[in-house]
Chain A
Amino acid sequence: MKMSYFPGCTLKNKATDLDVYARLSAEALDIMLEEIENWQCCGGMFTSSNDEVATKLSSVRVLNSAFKKGQDLVTVCSACHNVVKQTNNAMQTDSEFASKVNNYMGEDKYEGQTKIYHYLEMLRDVVGFEKIKEKVVNPLKGKKIGAYYGCLLLRPSKVMAMDNPENPTILEDFIRAIGAEPVIYAQRNECCGGYVTLESPNSAKKQSNRVLENAKANGAELIITACPLCLYNLKKSGANIPVVYFTELLAEALGLKEQTND
């Protein structure tokens, strides 16, 4: 099955692991990810105000490229996913905003038709966790993994609609599918400190530390995330626990990781 793919800026730079393992694993699961041509950065954060138009055009162009190919769109970075999905929702629900956007789009009008999957939703809803279980050759047996959702995958839940925003299970189900054991902890959907890390690193450190100490206290040995900024903040927090992208563990469980080590 072919799907359009929007990697986003950070996956081409600091977060190449998130991207490389995502592509490799998708292929092994019979999904062909076709990268959108000439995409631009989504801007990293959605601006909720309805008179912010120009800052949302790059997302609309990505959505429209997928629409014109007749494909569903896959994202893997939590932030890109949040921005693109919220932009699509604004195109569907706010006609004044949509008409302002379409003034920029020339002949290429867009009305919010594209269906967007976060990579995790693709695993759950398109591939199916049962099929992943069957394809696992290297189960991560006995590994106690804390899923870190952060904010962007789940909120606002009315728009993101990925999972229950206060008691999500998609990452835990993923962890079970690759043969490991999920650790549930209260802070898994609280903020890592986000972009505030740039000008106020200590405040981000405090937020991330609170998350990781809580995960450790509940027995986690390893943390997984889908967001490069979460990974950065968690790693800089000073809490002594490894943090990796969920796609890396997927590739490992599918026996694909060795291929990339040369």
Chain B
Amino acid sequence: MTNKYSVEEIIKRSGANPLKCMKCGKCSATCPAYDEMEYHPHQFVSMIADGDIEALVKSDSIYRCLSCFACVERCPRGVEPAKLIEALKLEVIRKKGQNYLTPNDIPNMLNEDLPQQAIVSAFRKYTK
């Protein structure tokens, strides 16, 4: 694989510190997207802390986060898991050809009631 992912960069841009985690699992317990994820918020945190992110960057779980910030609000150690997930996702989609959503995908997703906000938000989260 030619794409190299930097754990150091991920942690730096997130502004969060995964080493503060005490592995209580509260972030995953409160995550509304838990059932949709293969790797759960507390696993994101510990895998990033261990520098072991190969499986994460290939997993769809990075696109399942709703950015609801429940984990950030409720983590008793102030770890801010969602910020780590976002920083990791950016590491992936900033590489050429790795956008998760492209303009060509949009026409099939439209319906009459869909607010513009849904489209701009998804692009902000899935596409660089």
**A43 engages B113 (CB within 8 Å):** no
- A161 close to B (CB within 8 Å): no
Chain A: interface residue total (CB-CB under 8 A): 45
B70 to chain A, nearest CB (A): 7
The 8 A CB mask of A32-47 against B (1 = contact, 0 = none) is: 0000000001011101
Chain B: interface residue total (CB-CB under 8 A): 35
**A196 engages B66 (CB within 8 Å):** yes
Q: What is the predominant secondary structure among interface residues of chain A facing chain B?
A: loop
B121 to chain A, nearest CB (A): 3
Q: How many A-B residue pairs have CB under 8 A?
A: 126
- B115 close to A (CB within 8 Å): yes
**B113 engages A14 (CB within 8 Å):** yes
Q: In whole angstroms, what is the CA distance A194 to B117 when docked?
A: 10
Hey, which chain A residues are within 8 Å of B24, CB to CB? none
Hey, which chain A residues are within 8 Å of B125, CB to CB? 45, 47, 195
Interface residues in B10-28 by Cβ distance below 8 A to A read 13-15
Q: What is the predominant secondary structure among interface residues of chain B facing chain A?
A: helix
Hey, which chain A residues are within 8 Å of B114, CB to CB? 14, 198, 232
- A15 close to B (CB within 8 Å): yes
**B121 engages A229 (CB within 8 Å):** yes
**B117 engages A79 (CB within 8 Å):** yes
* A14-B115, A156-B72 known; A45+B32 contact, CB < 8 A: no
B90 to chain A, nearest CB (A): 6
Q: Closest 7 A-B residue pairs measured CB to CB?
A: A44-B121, A191-B68, A155-B69, A195-B121, A44-B120, A151-B68, A228-B115
